[in-house]
């Protein structure tokens, strides 16, 4: 595998989940693979799990991580071609990507959606510019449209915690949030869930007007009644996103969508999942996230193994 930009770059999601679960039993078994190899982690936005788990994954593989925060420390990069650069931006991504490629064997990038210009976000401007101008593999640590390392960690977590049953009911539920959030986590979760069509009945629930990009959710069952969606569910995956249709807007903060005990009671003793960070008592009630059915910490732990199996595949292809 050269780059990891989206779930579809994996040769097989199900095989990768099994490989990650195997790797987790002895995470240091491939220490030789990354010896004398450097990964550059470039952050254009905040991070806790992604930043630490991707470094941990690299260290487990014997790689040296270098981290750079562009928000506070780097030159402001220009991404538009042909610009007269006489304003605030000091360096073009054309040079920056080539320069970083001299120092790093792999480049990992976090660049959220701006949520103002749908076209620009859908073109994944930052990620695509690095794919175009860098000469080394690129790892997506959440782009404007996807968060494939999160979705792979989610798949690993579901595999480890699922009840033994032929077909699982997996529900992606929108929840309220005070700020406008990107669609990336929801999109990649949908992509991952839809790739499990033989194993998951995949339902998405949200208020009217909060439909995700239909190209990403084709094949999912849409249910506007959250309680009906929750009935008999085995997995409740909660996430806020801003409107896609009325791009980047927060049209609804309806607290009746908060996931609470009463809603969880109609599920099939479902596990509760969230990618974190989570706004307690807005997205989910304390009583749910603190319950035995909450697997958010196990889910965060799997971010390491998700990143590690992906980096292993990238290193395998380099050597």
Q: Which residues bind ligand SN0 (CB under 6 A)?
A: 179, 181-182, 184-185, 275, 277, 279
The nearer residue to ligand SN0, 65 or 146, going by C-beta atoms, is: 146
Distance CA 305, CA 129 (A): 27
β-pairing, 221-222 vs 200-205, is parallel
Q: How far is the CB of 299 from ligand SN0 (least distance, A)?
A: 11
The nearer residue to ligand SN0, 179 or 215, going by C-beta atoms, is: 179
Q: How far is the CB of 265 from ligand SN0 (least distance, A)?
A: 27
The nearer residue to ligand SN0, 106 or 275, going by C-beta atoms, is: 275
Name the maximum alpha-carbon separation found in the chain: 61
The nearer residue to ligand SN0, 43 or 130, going by C-beta atoms, is: 43
Phi, psi of 118 (to 5 degrees): -60, -45
Q: How far is the CB of 156 from ligand SN0 (least distance, A)?
A: 16
Q: Which residue is nearest to ligand SN0 (CB)?
A: 181
Hey, how many other C-beta atoms are within 10 angstroms of the C-beta on 36? Answer: 8
**Structural contact between residues 150 and 300, judged by C-beta atoms closer than 8 angstroms:** no
**Structural contact between residues 249 and 186, judged by C-beta atoms closer than 8 angstroms:** no
Distance CA 166, CA 208 (A): 31
Q: How far is the CB of 145 from ligand SN0 (least distance, A)?
A: 11
Neighbour order of strands in the sheet with 138-140: 64-69, 38-43, 106-110, 138-140
Q: How far is the CB of 175 from ligand SN0 (least distance, A)?
A: 11
Q: What is the dihedral of CA 91, 44, 5, 271, to 10 degrees?
A: 180
The nearer residue to ligand SN0, 245 or 279, going by C-beta atoms, is: 279
Q: What is the dihedral of CA 201, 205, 208, 214, to 10 degrees?
A: -50
The nearer residue to ligand SN0, 30 or 70, going by C-beta atoms, is: 70
Q: How far is the CB of 248 from ligand SN0 (least distance, A)?
A: 12
Q: How far is the CB of 48 from ligand SN0 (least distance, A)?
A: 9
The nearer residue to ligand SN0, 40 or 186, going by C-beta atoms, is: 186
The nearer residue to ligand SN0, 104 or 181, going by C-beta atoms, is: 181
Q: Which 8-state DSSP code applies to residue 242?
A: -
Q: How far is the CB of 135 from ligand SN0 (least distance, A)?
A: 29
**Structural contact between residues 176 and 283, judged by C-beta atoms closer than 8 angstroms:** yes
Q: Where are the beta strands (DSSP E) in the chain?
A: 38-43, 64-69, 77-78, 91-92, 106-110, 138-140, 168-174, 200-205, 221-222, 235-239, 271-273
**Structural contact between residues 304 and 57, judged by C-beta atoms closer than 8 angstroms:** yes
């Amino acid at each position: 595998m050269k780059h990891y930009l989206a779930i579809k770059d994996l040769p097989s999601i199900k095989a990768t989940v099994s490989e990650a679960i195997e790797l987790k039993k002895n995470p240091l078994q491939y220490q030789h693979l990354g010896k004398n190899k450097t990964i550059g982690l470039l952050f254009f936005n905040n991070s806790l799990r992604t930043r630490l788990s991707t470094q941990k994954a690299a260290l487990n593989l014997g790689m040296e991580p270098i981290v750079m925060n562009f928000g506070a420390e780097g030159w402001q990069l220009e991404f538009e071609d042909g610009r007269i650069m006489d304003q605030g931006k000091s360096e073009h991504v054309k040079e920056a990507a080539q320069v970083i490629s001299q120092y790093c064997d792999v480049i990992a990038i976090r660049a959220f959606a701006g949520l103002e210009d749908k076209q620009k976000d859908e073109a994944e401007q930052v990620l695509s510019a690095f794919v175009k101008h860098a000469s080394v593999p690129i790892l997506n640590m959440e782009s404007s449209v996807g968060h494939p390392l999160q979705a792979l960690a989610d798949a690993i977590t579901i595999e480890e915690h699922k009840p033994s049953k032929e077909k699982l009911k997996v529900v992606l539920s929108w929840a309220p949030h005070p700020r406008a959030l990107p669609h990336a986590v929801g999109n990649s979760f949908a992509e991952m869930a839809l790739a499990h069509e033989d194993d998951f009945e995949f339902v998405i629930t949200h208020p009217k007007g909060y439909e995700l990009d239909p190209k990403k959710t084709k094949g999912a069952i849409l249910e506007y009644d959250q309680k009906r969606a929750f009935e008999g569910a085995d997995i409740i995956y909660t996430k806020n996103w801003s409107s896609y249709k009325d791009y980047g807007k927060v049209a609804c903060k309806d607290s009746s969508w908060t996931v609470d005990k009463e809603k969880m009671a109609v599920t099939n003793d479902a596990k509760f999942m969230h990618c974190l960070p989570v706004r307690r008592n807005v997205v989910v009630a304390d009583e749910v996230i603190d319950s035995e059915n909450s697997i958010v910490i196990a889910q965060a732990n799997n971010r390491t193994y998700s990143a590690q199996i992906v980096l292993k595949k990238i290193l395998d292809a380099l050597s």
